[in-house]
Amino acid sequence: MPTHLLTTLPAFLAYFAVAVALLALFLLVYLNVTPYHEVALIRGGNSAAAVSLAGAILGFAMPVANVIAHSDTLIGLAAWGAIAAAVQLLAYLLARLALPQLAQDIPAGRMAPAILLAVVSLTVGLINAACMSY
């Protein structure tokens, strides 16, 4: 194994661990903000729940990945990750205002609102990631 890989491995592991912890925290909050139980719905075969949750996860992961690529501290990663989570949660709440039946649509398996929610999450995540280039 090249020496460079051995010297950068600790930084990789640290950034990866913080990113996974941020993702776990985001999921914990997101799953408690939504009025339906995505994991149970997904286990039951609800594609709408899977699509909407996948959009939220990817929408959060994009800015986190961008911050990892441009950050030089784990504290910076954690701070920008918290901001990314807050922005993603705000996007969900705004989508709920725009789609008042969303709390019923996702559990009912309606794909159109789920796709729109996923696209909103991805779009906000992409813009969020671009804004975090410093």
Four-CA torsion 63, 21, 54, 65, nearest 10 degrees: 20
Please give the Cα distance from 106 to 30 (Å, whole number).
15
Please give the Cα distance from 105 to 27 (Å, whole number).
20
pTM above 0.85, yes or no: yes
pLDDT at 78: 96
pLDDT at 17: 98
**pLDDT by residue, tens only, the chain of 134 residues:** 577 777 889 999 999 999 999 999 999 999 999 999 999 999 999 999 999 999 999 999 999 999 999 988 999 999 999 999 999 999 999 999 999 999 999 999 999 999 999 999 999 999 999 998 76
Contact partners, residue 110, CB within 8 Å, separation at least 6 = 48
Q: Is 107 in contact with 41 (CB distance < 8 Å)?
A: yes
Tens digit of pLDDT for each residue in 86-121? 999 999 999 999 999 999 999 999 999 999 999 999
pLDDT at 37: 96
